[in-house]
Amino acid sequence: MIRLSIRFASALALVALFLPVVQAAAQQDVPAAPVAQTPSEPAPAPAAPVFPKPDPANFTAAAPDKETVNAFLQASWGYDDTRVWEVWAIQKTEVDGISKVVLLVGDKTGKMKLTLAQFYVLPDNKHIFAGDDIMPFGANPFAAARAIAQQRADGPYRGSASKDLEIVEFVDFQCPHCKAAQPNMDKLAVDFPKARIVFQNFPLPMHAAAAPAAAYGYCVTKQGGSDTFFTFATAVFDGQEGLTSADGTTLTLNSAVTKAGLDPVAIAACAKTPAALAAVDAMVKLGQDLKINQTPTLVINGRSVPATAPYDLIKQIILYQAKMDGVVAQ
Who contacts 15 (Cβ-Cβ below 8 Å, separation ≥6)? 77, 83, 105, 117
pLDDT at 114: 86
Cβ pair 49, 106 in contact under 8 A: yes
Residue 28 φ then ψ, to 5°: -70, -15
Distance, in Å, from the CA atom of 288 to the CA atom of 119, rounded to the nearest integer, reads 23
The pTM for the full model equals 0.84
Query: Would the CA dihedral through 245, 246, 247, 248 be positive or negative?
Result: positive
CATH number of 144-325: 3.40.30.10
pLDDT at 84: 93
| Digitized pLDDT (tens) for each residue of the chain, 330 residues in all | 433 322 323 333 344 433 322 222 222 233 333 333 445 566 566 677 888 889 999 999 999 999 999 999 999 999 999 999 999 999 999 999 999 999 999 998 877 788 999 999 999 999 999 888 899 999 999 999 999 999 999 999 999 999 999 999 999 999 999 999 999 999 999 999 999 999 999 999 999 999 999 999 999 999 999 999 999 999 999 999 999 999 999 999 999 999 999 999 999 999 999 999 999 999 999 999 999 989 999 999 999 999 999 999 999 999 999 999 999 888
pLDDT at 36: 39
Distance, in Å, from the CA atom of 188 to the CA atom of 197, rounded to the nearest integer, reads 8
Q: What is the CA radius of gyration of the chain?
A: 23
pLDDT at 7: 30
Residue-wise DSSP of 104-163: EEEETTS-SPPEEEEEEE-TTSSEEEETTEEEE-SSSTTHHHHHHHHHH--S-EEE-S--
Query: Closest Cα to residue 299, out of 190, 136, 139, 180?
Result: 136
Query: Nearest 5°: CA angle at 121, between 97 and 25?
Result: 110
Distance, in Å, from the CA atom of 289 to the CA atom of 310, rounded to the nearest integer, reads 26
Overall residue count recorded for the chain in this entry: 330
First to last CA, the chain: 30
pLDDT at 126: 95
The SS3 assignment for 83 reads strand
Reduced DSSP (H G I as helix, E B as strand, rest coil) percent helix, strand, coil of the chain, to 5: 45, 20, 40
pLDDT at 48: 75
The full set of domain ranges for the chain reads 2-31+46-141, 144-325
The most distant pair of C-alpha atoms in the chain lies apart, rounded to whole Å, by: 79
The backbone region for 196, taken as left when phi is positive above 0, alpha when psi lies in -120 to 50, beta otherwise, is beta
pLDDT at 45: 60
